[in-house]
Amino acid sequence: MTRAAKTSRGTDGRVATELESCVLGIIAERQPCTAYVVRRDLGVSLSSYWSASAGAIYPLLRRLEERDWIRADENDWGTRKRRSFSLTRTGRKQLREWLSPSAVEWAAAFTYDPLRTRVFFLDHTTPKQRLDFLDHAIQATRSVVGEHRAEKRSLADELSEFDRIGREGAIAELEARLRWLRSVRDHVASSESKP
């Protein structure tokens, strides 16, 4: 996939990454909010758009500020200053562009799945290693599905309508992965039992 397929062009002509656009969405929902709030929301999200270190959020926010998509206000916080971020009008336009129908075509592609990537190369392992890998992947995925279902139940009164719907989508994707992993395991087990 090309870089253009993974990004959306902003209203100022600059290309925004998926992560940058997601951060604009978080700021729009929480504004004014600190870098800590943005990082926390990314960390607990059920989407796959954040895997970088905590320190990576600060350069990203600076980039968005330089593009005039967000603004930072400094407030006293004890003996220090704390920066709170809000969307600018240009940032709101960029967020709406990211959420426009034209973005849907490329976004409908398959999602990143590190387990699926590894399955492509299972022929480089022994039969026992294949089954061990698949058993562990099934157990780990089942556990994650359970954790996210429980979290969704515990947050039921706090979630917005679309946060709830988004979480349901992420859980459905994990459940589909679990069904697929089980079918791969069944295939591997039946292939290994043939003479």
* pLDDT tens digits for range 59-101: 999 999 999 999 999 988 888 888 999 999 999 999 998 888 7
Domain locations in the chain as residue ranges: 3-107, 114-193
- CATH 1.20.58 at 114-193, yes or no: yes
3-107 fold:
Arc Repressor Mutant, subunit A (1.10.10)
Rg of the chain on CA atoms, in Å = 21
Burial class (CB in 10 A: 0-12, 13-18, 19+), 181: buried
* pLDDT tens digits for range 145-159: 999 899 888 888 888
- Taking the model in full, what pTM does it have? 0.66
